[in-house]
Chain A
Amino acid sequence: MSLFALDQAAREARLLPELVELTEHHRARSPEYARLLASLGHLPGRRYDRVADLPWLPVRLFKHHVLKSIGDDEVFKVLTSSGTTGDVSRIYLDKDAAGVQQKMLSATLSAVIGTKRLPMLLVDTKALFKNRTSFSARGAGVLGLMNFGRDHTFVLDEQERPDPDAVRAFLERHGDQPFLIFGFTFMTWLYLYELAREHRFDLSNGILIHSGGWKKLVDRAVDNAEFRRRFTADTGLTRIHNFYGMVEQIGTTFLEGPDGGGLYCPEFADVIVRDPHTWAEVPVGTPGVVQVVSTMPRSYPGHLLLTEDRGVVHGVDDGAWPGKRFSILGRLPRAEARGCSDTFAEAAA
């Protein structure tokens, strides 16, 4: 049963009461969140007609404040995101939440990779895991996805150089059956695509899952359409799924459909694109700032988050899967404070 089967009206009808209940759940358990709702005039018992009317939090709040709806003694795991600016989000999970997030990621991805563990090609280096104590976000991302595959093979050697022999051996063993490929978008392009084209590797049985944005590929004039077109033309790879998610809304993965026409929302989640001047929801086709919505976060109030990404909804109930079909267009720049400080901060970026 795919998690990508709920049309927009059914989704809204299902999510609204769940999100209202979740808002009350967090209000009752997080004094900090309760204070915030009160200061914004969202008092208990308020009626909400639409998901878009519920109060959202800017995602960066989790970088500066502890917001959790579980007791200190129930904290099972603290997830951290690495921000480019050096400040880090801290997301608190209890045992339940940790279990659920892995289960939901698995259920979401099974829509495109099935439920069997497939042989897996990782567009990264094993050296990521050398230093157990300092785990990069990249390492955590790779590790999280490794659970979905078997016979893991790394495309880069320990010195981060492409390893054509390893890829060739992998393809000789598994290339005639479906196999899984995972990597960050820019690495997949720089290392796997280039390598496969140069060595004429046949990736036609592969299922590629990639994430991480296009920023590093902008100067190479590679966007999603070009990425897909050239992978298909030069390596035979057709099953390509970009995904979008963030540690602050753990377990929630927005996945590119088989049509390549955009990202779709699993049935427990949604996106709302907002006008950065009025913060009202914009019509289909109009770019704005992306809010992500998910009923997953129960251990911390991360169910309604305004991201720092720009995006656009291309259509609703009009694509390969039902619901909103959208793209992420890039990051909002970070607001620069002018002022008397930071003579020296200029070299930090």
Chain B
Amino acid sequence: MAATDRPRSITASAECGDGTRPVRRSSAVRTAAGGAPGINKTISALTSAALALPGLASSVQAAGPMERQWDVGYFHYEEGGERMRVESLKQSLVLPLGDALDLTLNAVRDTISGASPIYNVPEIRCQDGRVFTAPVISVSGASGNAEPSGTRPERPPLNTGDCRLGSARQVMLEDTFQDVRSAGDFKLNYYRGDTSLGLGAGVSREQDYDSRFLSLDLRREINDKLTTLAFGYSLASDTFSPLNKPDFSGDKDAHQILLGLTQVLGRNDLLQINLTLGYDQGYLTDPYKNVYLLSTNAAIDESRPDSRRQWNLLARYNHYFTAFKAALHLDYRYSRSDWGIDAHTLEAAWIQPLGQGWHLIPRLRYYTQSEADFYQSYFETLPASGDYSSDYRLAGFGALGGGLKLTRQVTSQARLDLGVEFYDRQSAYGLQEHADSAFADYGFTVYSLNLHLEF
């Protein structure tokens, strides 16, 4: 069973999928030994001072084809409470093609298993101490444990004074059988003077979900290369063929436009602002999610609007602390959609060289979102708008995340990265006003191992 809950990209975890990447690559210089400036503290101090000299930033960070390199990584994603697990293998190959072109080839294979929530039912607590879970008439989801139709389950009468509704509980789609996602994409970059142009395309396949995407981006360095302007457009065209709906498939198109500005403020400071506008249209409903309807005691398919407009703002500030030879990265993101979800993300990372090729990178992140206009943990009756969902990802909540990455430059051509990342979602962490969704609180951990080779 394809689990749409899991993050489509493990490294950009859960809800912050604005797809914004730093525009400015680190040094693209090729030296005889693939020398990596910035590894040693002395070298990084001298290099940053040298870059402050007039004109030199361009020569050392000249936009040009990337070096030949190969990355291979293994990721293990595991949710608490025996929920979803994902094993992921990724590889990425960068090949320079002559003076003005480079080609990047990425391939990913994810193996997914585990359980995911389908809907929430309220618990009914009676004065005599009995606790009922509201019995559900039928589940039109893919679950094999749906009640046989025909007999109407019993429920104690509500609002008579004896029994009343308590907190909700998640009903899980158990024993999700293993699904495999295979994805591949390429990106071709063309460099000419201060301008570079990128063209990318890719496919991703799962048992029930196919995605094809195309991207175009243009970057231009101006103002003695201290300013980089970026423009990007991407289109993803997806087809959902849910396993629980044999004769149905839904299509979705997602357009995204990115406008970016990166400004070098001095030899130790860099500011980046990205604005992303997204427009999704088509089948945006999750076919494996239900809502519980109290009036009829039934779980029925959720229904979402068939379009979504979204805009994201990313503000990023990097500062290099000469005294510590370390860098601080501060990110703030604001995202707003016409589904009513407003989200704020604050993230800080500290990049500390430890000497002898070691780097330690601690990272902390806080996220808060408001709930979607059509979200309720369960529904009394169906709302007139025709849009309703109990998907916990559309609830109001907050999350704390963090991680630690240790990297070691083993030789001038090889680097090993070891990372661990945690995530803790709590209804109570949310800052905006929202209905309690503590029943959906969960956390995950990601372990990662990556080998980077330049050859």
Are A and B subunits of one complex? no
Q: Taking beta carbons and an 8 Å cutoff, which residues of A are in contact with B?
A: none
